[in-house]
Amino acid sequence: MMSICLLGASGSIGTQTIDVMLKNPADFTLESFSVGHRTRKIRGIVNHFPKVKAICVQDKNKVAYFKKAYPNITFYYGDEGLNELIRNSSAKMVVNALVGFVGLKPTITALENDKIVALSNKESLVVGGELINNLLKERNGKLVPIDSEHVAIAKCLAVQNEDIDKVIITASGGAFRNLKREQLKDVTPEQALNHPNWKMGKKITIDSASMVNKAFEIIEAHYLFGLPIDKIETILNLNSYVHSLVRYNDGTYRMEVGKPDMRKPIKYALYQGLINYETVVSDDLSKVKNTTFAPFDENRYPIVRLAKKVIQEKGTLGAVFNAANEEAVYAFLDHKIPFLGIEGIINQCVREHRLIKNPIYETLKEVDCSTRAKVKDLIMKGEYEVCKY
């Protein structure tokens, strides 16, 4: 029986994680969880898992109410409460389904406490990949990916990890994949949230439309699999039927195929890969049934080029990339900036940043805060860049 601490239980990945656990009650138990501001979710989760020992909420003012309602459960609050939840947890596995920079410190805390981390929080590796890989070497923790693309790669490499030519990350193209750059000038948040294949949270859906999500996944692949940037490519797979591929030196491809459903990679992560799965081998991608591939055009999605820069320079650059993107995405969702303003703001912040090598967490946090402040100031003054189309 695997005991789990679930961070972000009320979000899309968290909710689907609970679905997987409920379908496999003999294998998993929920020891603790966090819900952020969505405290109405607490009752339903506790009803499903009555042995929960601890819960973290965001608002300190709600703790007294919940302590009275659930006297046998310990309650924590705020961002630091997430780390206290982990430190005091007897759970063997931490599922990090948080969104944004806030997820980095809990990943670090979990690995410092020798937990198995099932990671959905992209920002942990984008911002703190060096710190996390150092902890994996120094401590006894373990990292298992949840992202469908990285789970697919892990499955392929588990079958064959020699003579690798390239790891190829698939991309759907997002909501605007059928639009040319010049057509992006006036697109709306509502249009951007209409993803053709996946049902996801708002931020990651916007990241998919801008292709920042794919840049993040390239950076993640670098840290997860120890791959140099010249071993990582991207290809469009319009129906998300292939969840990433590995190309070998003999020209063959190994891939995972199937309908887009996040419960499959979540299950893989919860079982740490110790489940039955199939991969498909082909020597010709045009022969793969039920799917269509197309070349990935970096001129159409130029933001992906930043992944290479972050991987090569490391340091605090990932923190700038992530913070600028987060603030720009939320501004776009609030109709404060145009869609191409997201790219413009990111490029502006990255270009003007003075790189700090080998940062500790506190340095990353300072850069995160200063970058967010800068983006808000640029937007307020109307001095932000908008990418050309």
Q: What percent of the chain has pLDDT over 70?
A: 98
For the chain, give every domain's residue range: 2-145, 149-173+211-295, 305-381
Sheet holding 28-36, edge to edge: 74-77, 54-57, 28-36, 2-7, 93-96, 116-119, 142-145
Kindly tell me if the per-residue pLDDT of 199 is higher than 70: no
Q: Point out which residues pair with 323 in neighbouring strands.
A: none
Amino acid at 73: I
Confidence label for 219 from pLDDT (cuts 50, 70 and 90): very high
Nearest alpha carbon to residue 105 among 121, 88, 89, 116: 121
Contact present, 239 and 291 (Cβ < 8 Å) = yes
> Residue range 67-71: average pLDDT?
96
Sign of the C-alpha dihedral computed for residues 214, 166, 273 and 23 taken in this order: positive
Q: What is the pLDDT of residues 109-134, one digit of tens each?
A: 999 999 999 999 999 999 999 999 99
Kindly tell me if the per-residue pLDDT of 40 is higher than 90: yes
- Which long-range contacts (C-beta less than 8 Å, at least 24 apart) are formed by 295-299? 295/235, 295/236, 296/171, 296/233, 296/234, 296/235, 296/236, 299/181
Task: Check for a shared fold between 2-145 and 305-381.
Answer: no
Residues in the chain: 389
**The CATH number of the domain covering residues in 2-145:** 3.40.50.720
**The CATH number of the domain covering residues in 305-381:** 1.10.1740.10
What is residue 80's DSSP assignment? H
Question: DSSP string covering 258-310, please?
Answer: ----THHHHHHHHTTT-S----EEES-GGG-TT--EEE--TTTSGGGHHHHHH
> Residue range 36-48: average pLDDT?
97
pTM of the entire predicted model: 0.94
